[in-house]
Structure 1
Amino acid sequence: MRYKKKGKVPANEDSLATLGRIPYHELLRATDGYNENNLLSKWSFGSVYKGILADGTILAVKVFNLEHEGGFKSFDTECEALRNLRHRNLTKVITNCSNQDFKALVLEYMPKGSLEKWLYSDDYFLDMMQRLNIMIDVGCALEYLHHGLSIGVVHCDLKPSNVLLDNMVARASDFGIAKLLGEEQSFSHTNTLATFGYMAPEYGLEGLVSTKCDIYSYGILLMETFSRTKPNDNMFDGNFSLKRWVNNAHQDGNIVKVVDANLLSTEDKFYNDKLNCLSSIMELALNCCADNPQDRIVMTEVVGVLKKIKLQFLAFDRTSNRIVN
């Protein structure tokens, strides 16, 4: 399936694209036989390894587990979804390696790792502006997928481990269960479930997939990014969820209770202003997570709101720097 672009989309300036097809034996050597020491991550249908070619080029090799019944389908789906997508906030696919017994995608290596690593590792920290920029990047990726092509592409599995960072530019990755919507198609059905905690209600209960599902997942991701709390945290059970926790705090005017404590200091002259920005972010996240898909905000509006919040935050930051200097 070919995608017709609605507007002009800048092509990726990627010297890696000149590599062409990489044979199996070269990938085997580059990853040292898919050595565990080169393992970057695992997911439902396979593993991702760091690889170094003979000329020193560093790559990420996504190997699909063909013994898993979903392995073949996941490979085909991801190839189809990524074949004609070009955006600075999407994973760059260099080539693939495919035969009857082996299937892999060769991706650009993301040296900074995933958003999940930066949120939850004690050795890393993201300040408020970095988190805001990352979420704007992810929003721009979804805006392109939903509105930048003649057909809609639904990612279906948005979560921190699927947001990769390169010099703090975020890129959505892993299109293994993505859905392509026809030009006149607004939703699709699927039997493949995404990650618990991030799925929209209609997706989890009925298998209904639309761009509105991505918006719901994005809202959960937005809450998680600024609260540093996973939707499947042990504190949540039954009807008490990340969404309800944030909603209760927002309604009580006590959003500081759910915000990552590392983002705010009561000694900050602009503490209240920054807290208001965080409250606006959480309110936006809740609007993304409306139970009724039709009540969810569209991605274009989400990106616009976040950019306005960023401008407000920059104003406080510049004033604060002038006072210090």
Structure 2
Amino acid sequence: MLYGSIPTCLGELKSFRRLYLDSNKLESTVPLNLWNLKDLLELNLSSNSLRGSLPSEIKNLEVVNQLDISQNQFSGDIPSSTGSMQSLVSLFFAHNKFQGSIPESLGNIRSLESLDLSYNNFSGLIPKSLETLNYLQYLDVSHNRLEGEIPVGGRFANFTDQSFLQDYALCNETRQQFPHCGKTLKRSKSKNLVALMKYILPPIIALIFAMCITLLIVRRRKSYRQPPKKLREATNDFSETNILGSGSFCSVYEGTLSDGLNVAVKVFNFQSERVTKSFDIESKILSTICHRKLVRIIGCCSNTEFKALILEYMPNGSLERWLDIAIDVALALEYLHHGLTFTVLHCDLKPSNVLLDQDMVGHVGDFGIAKLFGQGESIAQTKTLGTIGYMAPEYGSEGIVSTSGDVYSFGIMLLEMYTRKKPTDAMFGEKMSLKRWVSQSLDENKIIEVVDANLLRREDTNFSAKEQCVLSILALAMECLINSPMERISTREVVARLEKIKTTFLRTTKDAKDGNGKQINEY
């Protein structure tokens, strides 16, 4: 039964993790400083009488994963900066007075699972960018003034007609409740032409004038924006044929320096302060540490317009293709956690961040969100989240990072290596996860049903020795995945256990070979 406006002092409480003010009688506008609670995980202002527009500062809620402002009187456009809120899982803007188009930038929120924009005044097209949201399970854009074709790619095939009802200008070739797009386009062509002349033509003229001015400035600054000549030559001018991989923050190119040395050039997408911070963190950490199981830094390039790391080239791809390097990864983690005078947390351990050299030795890389701990430090809070599926429970829900969090990620990676199933596989959801799936198989003594068939088959020579080896590894993974971080084993224990498992397996297979004279295939 709270009424009145939201006190501005709430925006000064920087330690807030969750704030629920829903189902009251609050009115007026939201204090601007409330959008500066950078550590906020959940915000619910729904079912009030709040009004005003959303400021671009909404992007400051960097780690929020639940945002609900439905059932209010908010108006205006949704800021495009909303697309930079990479941690969002649920976004509810229903039953307001929002207008304008749905921002294309919403397609950048890769972790988004629920999006409700119903009962507003949105117009224009449904962004095609929403097709790239692989985790989107719920979508409702009904009761707006949207037009054009309903997208068909990505998860859109799973959404019923209820998601698009009362948007009378929408069309689709297969949905029976909507007209075919050919008919709708003819009807709206003349209306669009008038809108073009009235609203778009004057800004275009102004834009052309501005571009002429900008072009003069660009030519003067061009030499400062160009990447160094040696790197352009080494990577064939950063050709697409040289790309080894890419992500939201960077692209990695294969290159050959003038002295014949093969390298990997990691170019950071120059888009935000967050990217610059990621470059600074990774270059600092890689220049500070050195270990045979870590990717070696050869050099870096940094100016106001271009940032890149020159790294040791790993020719054998990522761990997703090669499975037999668990010990290499564990040794790398042990060094980061215990082998230095300070502690390094990787914070984003996953198969694609482990590379193999020509001798199939694993090297851990990508320290873009890593953390350095001083002496005596063992735990911290962060607003930068790792990859969905690999984060420890306390990391995903509270932003707490520690060496135990890296151990959890290693446990997930072990399961993925031996089951060939990603934690984000379509078969997993609220009722079943990769961890629970493997745990049940261990309890029921049915690991043959979950282990990759390429690793373990009943007809294999010396099947029981292989089965015992895999059983021991999966059991170790379960100890890495204990919910309580205090009860998880350390990386030192992980290394010791893996070495013991390897020794036992090799001795067992050697004894089998010596005993019957047959060659035992290497596991």
Q: Is the 8 A contact 1:45 1:68 kept in 2?
A: no
Distance 2:373 2:234 in 1: 37
Task: Specify the alignment match of 1:9 in structure 2.
Answer: none
Corresponding position: 1:96 with 2:292: no
Task: Specify the alignment match of 2:470 in structure 1.
Answer: 278
Task: Specify the alignment match of 1:141 in structure 2.
Answer: 332
Within a 5 Å distance, the mapping from 1:119-130 to structure 2 comes to: 119=322
Q: Which moved more, 1:47-56 or 1:86-95?
A: 47-56
Give the alignment partner of residue 234 of structure 2, picking from 13, 30, 53.
Answer: 30
Q: Is the 8 A contact 1:281 1:306 kept in 2?
A: yes
SS of the residue 2:445 aligns to? coil
Instruction: Note the aligned Cα RMSD (angstroms).
Output: 1.3
Q: Is the 8 A contact 2:448 2:457 kept in 1?
A: no
Within a 5 Å distance, the mapping from 1:155-234 to structure 2 comes to: 155-166=346-357, 167-234=359-426
Corresponding position: 1:312 with 2:504: yes
Distance 1:187 1:202 in 2: 11
Distance 1:83 1:209 in 2: 22
Give the unaligned 5+ runs of structure 1: 1-22, 120-125
Determine which structure has greater relative contact order: mean sequence separation of CA pairs < 8 Å that are 6+ residues apart, divided by chain length. 1
Distance 1:222 1:53 in 2: 36
Q: Is the 8 A contact 1:41 1:48 kept in 2?
A: yes
Question: Which amino acid is the alignment partner of residue 256 of structure 2?
Answer: I
Alpha-carbon spacing, 1:269–1:46, altered in 2? closer, same or farther (3 Å): closer
- Superposition TM-score, scaled by structure 2 size: 0.54
Distance 2:503 2:452 in 1: 21
The offset of 1:318, in angstroms, is 2.1
Task: Specify the alignment match of 2:178 in structure 1.
Answer: none
The offset of 1:317, in angstroms, is 2.8
The offset of 1:200, in angstroms, is 0.3
**Residue deviations 1:294-315 (CA, integer Å, cap 9, x gap):** 0100000101001111011112
Task: Specify the alignment match of 2:261 in structure 1.
Answer: 57
The offset of 1:274, in angstroms, is 1.4
Give the alignment partner of residue 241 of structure 1, picking from 403, 408, 433.
Answer: 433
Counting matched residue pairs gives 290
Corresponding position: 1:324 with 2:518: yes
Alpha-carbon spacing, 1:269–1:33, altered in 2? closer, same or farther (3 Å): closer
The offset of 1:52, in angstroms, is 1.1
Q: Percent identical across equivalent pairs?
A: 52
Q: Is the 8 A contact 1:158 1:217 kept in 2?
A: yes
The offset of 1:320, in angstroms, is 4.3
The offset of 1:254, in angstroms, is 1.2
SS of the residue 2:292 aligns to? coil
Distance 1:141 1:57 in 2: 24
Distance 2:459 2:383 in 1: 51
SS of the residue 1:61 aligns to? strand
The offset of 1:55, in angstroms, is 2.5
SS of the residue 2:326 aligns to? helix
Q: Is the 8 A contact 1:269 1:320 kept in 2?
A: no
Question: Which amino acid is the alignment partner of residue 158 of structure 1?
Answer: L
SS of the residue 2:500 aligns to? helix
Give the alignment partner of residue 263 of structure 1, picking from 438, 442, 455.
Answer: 455
Task: Specify the alignment match of 1:108 in structure 2.
Answer: 312
Distance 1:68 1:45 in 2: 9
SS of the residue 2:278 aligns to? helix
Q: Is the 8 A contact 2:465 2:509 kept in 1?
A: no
The offset of 1:161, in angstroms, is 0.5
Question: Which amino acid is the alignment partner of residue 471 of structure 2?
Answer: S
Distance 1:93 1:74 in 2: 15
**Residue deviations 1:175-196 (CA, integer Å, cap 9, x gap):** 0000111211111111111110
Task: Specify the alignment match of 1:150 in structure 2.
Answer: 341
Q: Is the 8 A contact 1:65 1:71 kept in 2?
A: yes
Task: Specify the alignment match of 2:277 in structure 1.
Answer: 73
Give the unaligned 5+ runs of structure 2: 1-226
Distance 1:80 1:139 in 2: 22
